[in-house]
Structure 1
Amino acid sequence: MKKKVLAALVAPVAALSLLGAGQAEANTNFDMVVKDPAELMRDQGILLGLPNGDLKVNDALQRVELLMMLDRAGKLEGSKAKLSFTDVPGKYQDVVSKAVQSKLVSGFTKQSFKPNHSLTKGQFATIFTLSETGGKVPSVDLSILNNYTDASKIPTYLKPYIAYAILGGAFDVEYGKPFEYEKEITRAEASKAFKPVVFDVIDFLTTNDIHGNIEFNEKYQNGGMAIIGGLVNAFRSVNPDGTVVVDGGDIFQGTLISNSFEGASTFDTMNAIQYDAAAIGNHEFDWGVDVLKDRIAQAKFPVMGANVYDEKTNKRVDWAEPYTMVEKGGYKIGIIGFATPQTPATTLATHVEGLSFPTPAPIAKELAAELREKGADFVIVTSHLPGEHAKDSDEIIGELTDLAMESKGSLDAIVGGHSHKRVSGHVNNIPVVEAQSYTAAMGHIQLFIDKKTKQVYSSESGILETKVGLTKEDDAVAGIVSGYQEQVKEIAAEVVSKTTGDLTRTPSEGKYGVSQLGNLISDAMMQKADAQVAFQNIGGVRANMEGGDITYGDVFSVIPFDNYNVVSEMTPQQIKMILEGPLKDGSNFLTIQYGGLKVVFDAERAHGDRILSVTLNDGTSLYKDGKFSESKVKVVTNNFLGTGEGDGFDTFGEVEWTSTPDFQRELFADYFRAMKAAGTTIDASAVLDDRLISVKK
């Protein structure tokens, strides 16, 4: 069953006048796109089988069979010459002669060619690569081989050929598995590997939810924009004219090195990598539209929002392009960018005031038709639409799926974001991808295009790792990052406190409950505002803290958003509603982080009746045995929640809040600094106190 998503706005009718369906049709043969590779090669006249149709897919591929396949694909253009081999039948003389003259292959001896000898994966990669490079040894980044556990065993002379074949699409990049270069290659495997020979290839390399993570992640030994740039360079070295680089939004908000420059540092790295396009994410609005406009002006690529509308005019805003057209490998590719319709609920409401974010599908059909009228051969979407794989199956669900289900016939590929998940596969025979977040991975979609009809006959979707050693860093990007690091080093290095153990944002009750960092942040907010109760959304706590010294840089990682305190009074009834949490799929509750309260709950009871008692820290009862006290309580929360639109906690919207100049990140840092000044080390084991009590324990 398809997972429910947040309700989306209907596209403004006045803004759309859908063209005829035929005008929006994708150049994708959707019935063929997920066809078995061997059958696809048979249909292309490349792989021959028995008269009964048996393609012998599990048989090992023979040397002469590969040469015949290359010849049928028009890859053997060498001159014919008399052979010295005595074991090549007459019907194979011409094809073997051309292959030898093209320097794709040689004999075992002057007299022996062994045409029926089985090929290994390494031998296949060599012949494949030489057929693509005109018989020359390729110059290519060999680091891609480090994805495989047996990379060190591959002979040095074979490495350039195998690396080229992998980057060229003959073999999937499979991290943590052996390549097995000595293993015989089957006819089925050879058919899959042959797609880049028969078809033109467009490589889409994708990022999403960078959130300012332009630095290499020392803890996880991955990520950073220099590595992203290195992966792009590796693919461009093999497919220079057919590589497209796009981003799915939430580009710059989230790290000290990015936020200190309002995202300019992140865009500098993307400009250096030469991105082709990006979508607008919800956090692109975190510093207001004016800052977003500055970043759009800085970008040397379009930052797009096809569904960002002005509520008053019911028209698309004029400061963000809806789409762009790029030419790659002789093909014109239309790229449409979408924000998520969830944007008003997942960013500060005042920063998107006057804007609406309608459902993408009708707009996608309209713009795809428009792009094709302008000559686009293919149309893809890069978006901040979330997806995920269902827990009990490999099914892809979410807004990403919604668009794909409604877009067959108009779109050729879809890139997503927002959910921070790894998503890869086909929906409605359309390849879709989402590459986690924080540059921890990169998405990869390949379109295999018939050179005559310009139709997509096959496509693949996958995830590329960004771990250290899997590619060479881009030196220019690394230099940009280093320059910004020098500017923020002193700020980030300040030690503000110390802890005896790790402090995490992990909920205390499995998927819900309070957390160590949630408790500390709430207490810091409450102390600063001199309030009785504090509420903090768990989504605003973005990282964990390791035991030992706590630096300002650590504080920034935990609270990267520029949210500030708002204060007011709330009734006990409203406080209980907040504690119950918004109802999502009938199970999401008690997700709020809080301070100043002791709460007893029963997880087995129905939503709205799970909270059994609520007591202030001073012992004053606010709710017990179904009865509420009559007194109001001074409450502090952040301005994101205070709108009543943040994370579904609409009860906050019933309250009139007073803003303060107290930014959460700074008050949290000051809270730690005060502990340090008092000589106090945080006891991590005591942070999860008795503020939340389950009757089942």
Structure 2
Amino acid sequence: MFARRLLFTLAILACGLVLACQPASPAPTPTPTPTPTVSSAATATPPATTTPETVHSTPTTDEIRHLTILYTNDEHGWLEPHERDGRRVGGVAELLTRWRTEEGYDPADESFLLLSGGDNWTGPAISSFFDGESAYEVMDAMGYDVSAIGNHEFDFGLDVLKARMAEGLITYVAANIVDAETGNIPEGFTPYTILDANGVRVGIVGLTTTSTPYTTKPNNVASLRFRPYDETLREWVPRLREEGADIVIALGHICLDEIQALVPTAAQLGVDVLTGGHCNEFVADERDGVHIIIGGKHWESYARLDLDVDPTTNRIVSANASLHTHTPDALTPDPDVAMIVARWRDAAADVLEEPIGYTENGIKRGSALYNLVTDAWRFAYPNADIAYTNLGGFRADLSPGVITVGDVYGVLPFDNTLVDVEVSGQDILDNFACCGGTFSGMRFQGGTFVLDNGNPLDRDATYHVLINDFMYAGGDGYLFGEQDPNGYDTTIPWQQPVIEYIRALDTSPEAPLETRIDTSHRGWRR
């Protein structure tokens, strides 16, 4: 595993080095959108430098150091093959086979770096049920060296993330996350690492999306502050160079538009590679000598970047980036990874029987059940002003007695995720007029829609509305996807907040669920 090639990882504790930085307001939440493939440049332009160049003899082919980066992002715990647009895609055991047979990958080969742009865990039950432990184990078995920290790495709490990082099997880097009070790198966090890859010292500095306070549970990151990306690179890239990094990678969980805005700073500092995530984009590009790669999502695709480095100048003399989709058909799963996935699949099946609450009389499809689900979404994602869902997704009632995790999946059986859209009040009314539905955060009262704060829904105001991805894709005729083409797919399975909410209500035969939820009619309609 490449971890054996680790030269050193700088882990600065809260009591350690004080960073000279000023507080900064969080940047606005990026607006993710699928991105078409961008053509890749074959040759890198050397970064600008203020020191005169030294003339060196031309290196021979044997002297050139070759590196291959395999890159994924936004994996979200999708360990198994799954359906996408009518075809099977993904599957980690099959992907490892593809990398071995088609890319020549070997975890023990020092010329390969296996990197992730973050958001490794939150996703289907096989990962979310276990706070991402299954995805972490699989990524270690595949040979991942370093990952950025994504906003969803915080979904299960700061302690869970710190525990994963402390295991040390995969290095997680984030240089722009600081303690909100001291401005120091928080205890347990690592801003950068330097690896020895085929004789090249590769410095990797991490960048986490500044939208994190609004795209994970806010309480989980209340003690942290997320610094601007350019400010962070200006502080840490010179340090990487001082400590002997031959090339520098900014491993980012940031979107393409943010990367493009960062290129001038990166080029000035001599950053060689910028990577992305968070917006599920699929990109290979080169701008001003900076190579940009983003690998898609859910292990359905990946990016490859080949670099040739001149050891006499420590400069990239040639580069080639390529994008690859992954379907599991006709591939024999890697047996070791397949065994790990099967073990976690069996464990997930056991979790479905786990009790999470109690209802005395049962809860049938209607106001009480609709309110329970949409209230749970806003409970888990408080950035939303309104939660809104279609009625066709409700496929079962909650039966009297003990409520299990499996019961929630019976009510909401589809593999949907939650999408945050920004739309006007008029847009919300247009969706209700065309397609009906049910909601949290507003109700129909006195002939108009009224928000929870008592104010009427403003047709001209903009609201964050949490919907499911079926609705966003135009299912049942909903218009949200047209109204906000840049909606943010949180990748949160729509069942997970309901499970957490029922647990939090702490129900029992003495305090059944129906006594702890809003059973009023808010104005839903089919």
| TM-score tier (shorter) | 0.5 to 0.7
Distance change (3 Å), C-alpha of 1:479 and 1:465: same
Match of 1:456 among 301, 316, 333: 316
SS of 1:447 mapped into structure 2: strand
Q: Which whole-Å CA distance do the structure 1 matches of 2:124 and 2:235 have between them?
A: 37
CA contact (8 A) 2:386 2:442 kept: no
Where in structure 2 are the equivalents of 1:261-272 lying within 5 Å? 261-272=130-141
CA contact (8 A) 2:43 2:319 kept: no
**Equivalent residue, structure 1, for 2:447:** 621
Where in structure 2 are the equivalents of 1:625-664 lying within 5 Å? 663-664=497-498
CA contact (8 A) 2:374 2:388 kept: no
Deviation at 1:318, TM superposition (A): 2.2
SS of 1:215 mapped into structure 2: coil
2:112 paired with 1:243: yes
Q: Which whole-Å CA distance do the structure 2 matches of 1:419 and 1:430 have between them?
A: 20
**Equivalent residue, structure 1, for 2:45:** 31
Deviation at 1:558, TM superposition (A): 2.8
2:268 paired with 1:403: no
CA contact (8 A) 2:75 2:119 kept: yes
**What letter matches 1:411 in structure 2?**
V
CA contact (8 A) 1:267 1:298 kept: no
Distance change (3 Å), C-alpha of 1:632 and 1:529: farther
2:94 paired with 1:227: yes
Distance change (3 Å), C-alpha of 1:629 and 1:269: closer
Distance change (3 Å), C-alpha of 1:292 and 1:630: closer
2:142 paired with 1:308: no
Q: Which whole-Å CA distance do the structure 1 matches of 2:113 and 2:390 have between them?
A: 31
Match of 1:325 among 184, 189, 194: 194
Match of 1:589 among 381, 401, 424: 424
1:130-151 Cα deviation digits (max 9, x unpaired) = xxxxxxxxxxxxxxxxxxxxxx
Match of 1:260 among 100, 110, 129: 129
Where in structure 2 are the equivalents of 1:646-685 lying within 5 Å? 663-665=497-499
**Equivalent residue, structure 2, for 1:281:** 150
* Greater fraction of residues in strand: 2
CA contact (8 A) 1:271 1:299 kept: no
Q: Which whole-Å CA distance do the structure 2 matches of 1:557 and 1:310 have between them?
A: 36
Deviation at 1:366, TM superposition (A): 2.5
Match of 1:558 among 412, 416, 436: 416
Ranges in structure 2 where 5+ consecutive residues have no aligned partner = 1-17, 23-41, 48-56, 355-364, 398-405, 436-440, 457-463, 467-495, 504-523
Q: Which whole-Å CA distance do the structure 2 matches of 1:521 and 1:302 have between them?
A: 48
Match of 2:20 among 14, 18, 31: 14
**What letter matches 2:89 in structure 1?**
N
CA contact (8 A) 2:373 2:498 kept: no
**What letter matches 1:427 in structure 2?**
R
Percent same amino acid among aligned pairs?
Answer: 24
Greater C-alpha radius of gyration: 1
CA contact (8 A) 2:65 2:200 kept: no
Match of 1:526 among 371, 390, 393: 371
SS of 1:14 mapped into structure 2: coil
**Equivalent residue, structure 1, for 2:30:** none
* Coordinate RMSD, CA, aligned: 4.9
2:221 paired with 1:362: no
**What letter matches 1:336 in structure 2?**
V
**What letter matches 2:447 in structure 1?**
S
2:66 paired with 1:201: yes
**Equivalent residue, structure 2, for 1:483:** 343
Match of 1:422 among 282, 289, 293: 282
SS of 2:89 mapped into structure 1: coil
**Equivalent residue, structure 1, for 2:219:** 350
- Count of residue pairs the alignment pairs up: 391
SS of 1:317 mapped into structure 2: coil
**Equivalent residue, structure 2, for 1:184:** none
Distance change (3 Å), C-alpha of 1:221 and 1:354: same
Where in structure 2 are the equivalents of 1:115-154 lying within 5 Å? none
SS of 1:221 mapped into structure 2: strand
Q: TM-score, normalised by structure 1?
A: 0.48
CA contact (8 A) 1:236 1:243 kept: no
Q: Which whole-Å CA distance do the structure 2 matches of 1:522 and 1:404 have between them?
A: 51
Q: Which whole-Å CA distance do the structure 2 matches of 1:465 and 1:313 have between them?
A: 44
Q: Which whole-Å CA distance do the structure 1 matches of 2:502 and 2:426 have between them?
A: 20
**Equivalent residue, structure 2, for 1:445:** 305
Distance change (3 Å), C-alpha of 1:258 and 1:592: farther
Q: Which whole-Å CA distance do the structure 2 matches of 1:260 and 1:629 have between them?
A: 32
**Equivalent residue, structure 2, for 1:129:** none
CA contact (8 A) 1:286 1:347 kept: yes
**Equivalent residue, structure 1, for 2:517:** none
Q: Which whole-Å CA distance do the structure 2 matches of 1:539 and 1:620 have between them?
A: 19
Deviation at 1:29, TM superposition (A): 8.8
Higher relative contact order structure (alpha carbons within 8 Å, sequence separation ≥ 6)? 2
**What letter matches 2:165 in structure 1?**
I
Deviation at 1:437, TM superposition (A): 1.1
Q: Which whole-Å CA distance do the structure 1 matches of 2:244 and 2:164 have between them?
A: 29
SS of 2:88 mapped into structure 1: coil
Deviation at 1:489, TM superposition (A): 2.6
Distance change (3 Å), C-alpha of 1:323 and 1:615: closer
Match of 1:211 among 76, 91, 95: 76
CA contact (8 A) 2:178 2:224 kept: yes
SS of 1:213 mapped into structure 2: coil
Deviation at 1:441, TM superposition (A): 0.7
Deviation at 1:382, TM superposition (A): 1.3
Q: TM-score, normalised by structure 2?
A: 0.62
Ranges in structure 1 where 5+ consecutive residues have no aligned partner = 1-11, 17-27, 34-43, 46-71, 76-197, 388-397, 495-519, 562-577, 583-587, 602-613, 634-639, 643-661, 670-688, 692-697
Distance change (3 Å), C-alpha of 1:282 and 1:521: farther
CA contact (8 A) 2:207 2:252 kept: yes
Match of 1:413 among 247, 259, 273: 273
